[in-house]
Structure 1
Amino acid sequence: MSQAVDVIEAVSDMTEKAVKPRRSQADRSAATRAKVIAAARDILCAQGYSGATLHAIRDATGMSLGAIQHQFPTKARMMAAVAAEFSEYRTKVYSEAIRRGTTPAQSLENLLDANFAMLGRPEMAALLEIHLARRNDPELDREVAPSTRRFDRRVRLWAHMILRAAGIRNDEANMSLQLLNNAVTRGLTVEYIRNANKDEIERAVRIWKRQMLTLLFGD
């Protein structure tokens, strides 16, 4: 009986291995990158840019420095990957929000809602830390700039298309409103980091969104 059980278990192990083939090198590399990016994001959010050292990320992931640096030879490249991943995520979320709108005003409102829904995410705090650090780190600035420019161009294009569809062509005023909206977004991100009253932040968002829509589309 014991031999029969051993045979069954051996067959079961072989079947499981056949069903679950070993991951490819590309899959393992992608998993490593994802783990490092997630750890860097969380440390940036909790401890700021200066706290997001390679040693801190090594400790958080349980990986060796060699494994981490194989994926990201420098801290700047790692931070750029954190920023780029979040930009890709925001691009997807924002584009879907715009498409759900049936009028230009609704599309813009959806875009604003999607933007302010990001405020409490750790990626927003991490991104803010990265952008602040760019001022004094030329290498970081070079690495982060491409994905940032792509994302900013997309947002400007979306806003331009929405407003043109509504017959609004005052480009100077629109650029000023976008600048103000960016400033409000960053400021409220700081408020979230400081653990301010979330109800107050949400109330501020509602007020600002109403002001934006009224300025652009009227009552």
Structure 2
Amino acid sequence: MTTAAKRPRRSQADRSAATRAKVLAAARDILCAQGYSGATMHAIRDATGMSLGAIQHQFPTKAKIMAAVAAEFSAYRTHVYTDAIRRGTTPRQSMENLIDANFEMVRRPEMAAVLEIHLARRNDPDLDQEVGPSTRRFDRRVRLWGHLILSAAGIDNDRAYQSLQLLNNAVTRGLTVEFIRNPDMALIDRSIAIWKTQMLELVFGR
């Protein structure tokens, strides 16, 4: 007679990680569906099926949940962008890969969620304080990547690139909003192709 082996109990660290992942996934989904105002602690509680106490043990405030959502997506983007740049065999190709990787984010729910968070920072000092540091770190990384690509191409015009980066951020956020309103990826892809051509020509010439 045999008995089934008992499943090993998960460690406290594993349980905490699973709780964090469940909370962040719920927060992201609610942000996409209902916006920042709809992503309350009670809405997240209901979506996860957890108690409010269990959630607050990991994230004492809504601002900390939102900061974790933003930081997790920044870490993901950092990994994707770094890989895209490394796959380029020339500076122009690295920049092209970076642009492609950036605009792939438009269709991801995390992009819409993080956009909601950044818009809410204007009127929420606690949120701004929590989200600001990781956002600034990510922005510095993007500027550094651009600077390194331009340096490799022998281009010394960092101020011009910073202006293009600002425009690129505006286009990315605008297309994210358009995707939320009308997810017509064929139209969005055509728009991205036009902007990508213009940006590469402005940086590297024809």
Instruction: Tell me if TM exceeds 0.5.
Output: yes
Compute the TM-score of the two structures, normalised by the length of structure 2: 0.98
| Structure 2 residues without counterparts, runs of 5 or longer | none
Q: Secondary structure at the match of 1:131?
A: helix
Taking only the aligned residue pairs, the percentage that are identical comes to 78
2:160 matches 1:173: yes
Task: Tell me, in whole angstroms, the C-alpha distance in 2 between the residues paired with 1:58 and 1:196.
Answer: 29
Of 109, 130, 155, 2:96 maps to 109
Task: Tell me, in whole angstroms, the C-alpha distance in 1 between the residues paired with 2:10 and 2:182.
Answer: 41
Compute the TM-score of the two structures, normalised by the length of structure 1: 0.92
Give the aligned residue type for 1:181. N
Task: Tell me, in whole angstroms, the C-alpha distance in 1 between the residues paired with 2:35 and 2:50.
Answer: 21
Instruction: Note closer, same or farther for the CA distance 1:31–1:196 as it changes in structure 2 (3 Å cut).
Output: closer
Give the aligned residue type for 2:9. R
Give the aligned residue type for 1:124. M
Task: Tell me, in whole angstroms, the C-alpha distance in 2 between the residues paired with 1:196 and 1:23.
Answer: 41
Aligned to 1:91: 78
Deviation at 1:196, TM superposition (A): 4.1
2:21 matches 1:34: yes
Q: Secondary structure at the match of 1:107?
A: helix
Q: Once the two structures are superposed, what CA deviation does each residue of 1:71-106 show, in whole Å capped at 9, x if it has no partner?
A: 100000000000000000000000000000000000
Task: Tell me, in whole angstroms, the C-alpha distance in 2 between the residues paired with 1:98 and 1:213.
Answer: 15
Moved more, 195-204 or 141-150: 195-204
Q: Once the two structures are superposed, what CA deviation does each residue of 1:143-176 show, in whole Å capped at 9, x if it has no partner?
A: 0011101111100000000011101111221111
Aligned to 2:56: 69
For the aligned residues, what is the CA RMSD? 0.8
Alignment: residue pair count: 206
Of 1, 15, 38, 1:51 maps to 38
Alignment of 1:181-196 (within 5 A): 181-196=168-183
Q: Secondary structure at the match of 1:117?
A: helix
Give the aligned residue type for 1:63. M
